[in-house]
Structures are given as C-alpha cells and as structure tokens.
Amino acid sequence: MEALAEKPGERLRIVREALGFTQKEFSDALGLKSYQIRNIEYGRHRVTEEVFAAFGKSMPELLPWIAFGGTIPVEQLRQSKGELSKLLVVRINIGLTPNAAFLEPNNGDQQT
C-alpha cells in the first residue's frame, strides 16, 4: 500500500478514507474548503502550508506521515487527545478500517 501513497495528497486521501469521511466531511473537520481537498487528492494542487497546518492541528501524530511517509506507531495514535485520531483508532479497533500502511503495529498488533 505504501507504493500507492508516494505523494502527500495520496496519503491525505488514505487518512480521509480510513476515517470514513467524504471529501466535504474531511474538509469541514479540518476547517478547509472541499475544493482544496479534492484538488489535492486528484493531484491538481500540492499540499499547501495551510493544509499541513490544519491537518497538524487535528491529527499531529499523522502529520509526519502525510509530509514524508514512513509509519506511525499505533500506540502513539491511541494516546492522542485529538478527536480525529480517536475516531481513527475506534474505526481500527472495531474493524471498520484495517490497520493502514501508515500504522506500525505494536506488540499486540504484530502480524505473524
């Protein structure tokens, strides 16, 4: 899945879909315009500082992954106080969102 997310806009889409949000719902949650999210996801525009800042306020644990790729420890996401991060953890825990490429399993989550 990582190969599919080479650009920040692609990673932003993965997070949005993992949350179960439409582009409008996601842009509203971040305090952005829906056309900004749409244009970024379709590769028409780059992720701007404004979008990085809005995302960082809502999901600071995932900001490094959005910007650079790699993985985020699941436990770090679980300890977040951010509402969107909490929602993502709940969706993962109840099976609505499989552990995505950006999540690094902890001891209890490791696959064999």
Predicted confidence (pLDDT) per residue in 67-97, tens digit:
998 877 778 888 988 899 999 988 988 888 7
Residue 62: CB atoms within 10 A of its CB come to 27
- pLDDT for 110 equals 42
Amino acid symbol at 69: G
Average pLDDT over residues 34-56: 94
> What is the DSSP annotation of 44-93?
SSPPPHHHHHHHHHH-TTTHHHHHH-S-EEHHHHHT---HHHHHHHHHHH
Residue 111 in this model has a pLDDT that exceeds 50? no
Fold of 2-109: 434 Repressor (Amino-terminal Domain) (1.10.260)
Residue 101 in this model has a pLDDT that exceeds 70? no
- What is the distance between the alpha carbons of residues 30 and 48, in angstroms, rounded to a whole number? 13
- pLDDT for 102 equals 67
Specify which residues 72 forms β-bridges with: 103
